[in-house]
């Protein structure tokens, strides 16, 4: 008598085919069909699942785990950040939870460097001036930007993504890399980086890159007081989570030219409404959270999530456990 295949629910239909094919070699795979995923469909199809590949950003909590049933053995997200997951609930149930942190490092680092350049050199403001016939040719100070070379770059958060960004920045001949984290990084010498207090990060940085997880401690930490401590030439870049920033305070800082410019790949909410005040300031470039949106990264994320699930179903440690 043959044993049954493990049943795995995949919550998004656009997980790459080659990722699903790997999973189908060992499991019965049920795929949700709606884009965006509907909670009602997830709750219906999740019943009896042995594992879940959570491939979207809606809340992952006790309600979902209860709907699956007591046979559920493992869950893996297909993301690096897991601020939408009720970690305490998973720990209480001793439910294995995986995520895909290292897979996103290169693509998010590329976006961060792109935002540093495009915000620092006022790409968006320049484009708007072309569109409104305000291209000026006689002023030497017109659209004067900020260079990365010989600058002090500050990181709020210096984990995997931050360190990949820092490695790329070494080739830009930056003057100094500083970072603020809860503890000093043992490998900071690899990047000629120095651990500093939060206030020093704000006051010393020509560029500030937010690459930190969203936690109760980091939520809203970049507020009006923080922006007031930054240099007037500071370029602020956020590739982490929108809620780390008080966007009204950021709007005011940009509108008053209290800081030089900002580049954002993440906002609150997402999607950002078309009438949001941040879209009205010329010195702010905003992307629609595309930091991980490359074919290579999506496949890497999917493969890690699948391996997390297969390992857990076989009684082995996940390759990327979330806790």
| Active-site residue set | 289
3-state secondary structure of 143: coil
Residue with tokens 């980086």: 193
H-helix or E-strand containing 75? strand 74-77
Contact 32, 41 (CB under 8 A): yes
Number of H helices, E strands in the chain: 11, 12
Q: Quick count: other Cβ atoms within 10 Å of Cβ 276?
A: 15
Q: Helix, strand, coil shares of the chain as percentages rounded to 5?
A: 35, 15, 45
Identify the CA nearest to 62 among candidates 90, 35, 43, 34.
90
Q: How far apart are CA 260 and CA 206, in angstroms?
A: 9
Q: Indicate the burial class of 187 (C-beta count within 10 angstroms; 0-12, 13-18, 19 or more).
A: exposed
């Amino acid at each position: 008598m043959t044993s049954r295949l493990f049943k795995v629910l995949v919550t998004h239909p656009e997980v790459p085919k080659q990722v699903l094919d790997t999973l189908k070699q060992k499991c019965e795979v049920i795929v949700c069909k709606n884009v965006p995923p509907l909670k009602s469909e997830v709750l219906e199809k999740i019943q009896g699942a042995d594992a879940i590949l959570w491939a979207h950003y809606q809340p992952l909590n006790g309600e979902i785990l209860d709907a699956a049933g007591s046979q559920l053995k493992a869950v893996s997200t297909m993301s690096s950040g897991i601020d939408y997951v009720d970690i305490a609930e998973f720990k209480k149930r001793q439910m294995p939870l995986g995520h895909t942190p290292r897979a996103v490092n290169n693509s998010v680092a590329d976006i961060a460097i792109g935002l540093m350049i495009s915000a620092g050199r006022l790409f968006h403001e320049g484009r708007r001036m072309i569109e409104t016939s305000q291209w000026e040719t006689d002023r030497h100070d017109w659209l004067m930007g900020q260079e990365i070379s010989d600058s002090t770059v500050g990181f709020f958060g210096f984990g995997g993504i931050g360190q990949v960004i820092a490695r790329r920045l070494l080739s830009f001949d930056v003057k100094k890399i500083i970072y603020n984290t809860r503890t000093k990084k043992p490998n900071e010498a690899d990047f000629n980086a120095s651990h500093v207090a939060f206030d020093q990060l704000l006051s010393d940085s020509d560029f500030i890159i937010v690459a930190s997880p969203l936690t109760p401690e980091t939520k809203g930490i970049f507020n009006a007081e923080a922006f007031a401590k930054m240099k007037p030439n500071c370029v602020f870049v956020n590739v982490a989570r929108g809620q780390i920033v008080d966007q009204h305070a950021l709007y005011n800082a940009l509108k008053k030219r209290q800081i030089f410019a900002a580049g954002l790949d993440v906002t609150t909410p997402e999607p950002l409404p078309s009438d949001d005040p941040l879209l009205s300031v010329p010195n702010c470039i905003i992307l629609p959270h595309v930091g991980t949106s490359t074919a290579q990264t999506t496949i890497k994320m999917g493969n890690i999530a699948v391996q997390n699930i297969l390992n857990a179903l076989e009684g082995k440690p996940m390759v990327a456990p979330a806790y």
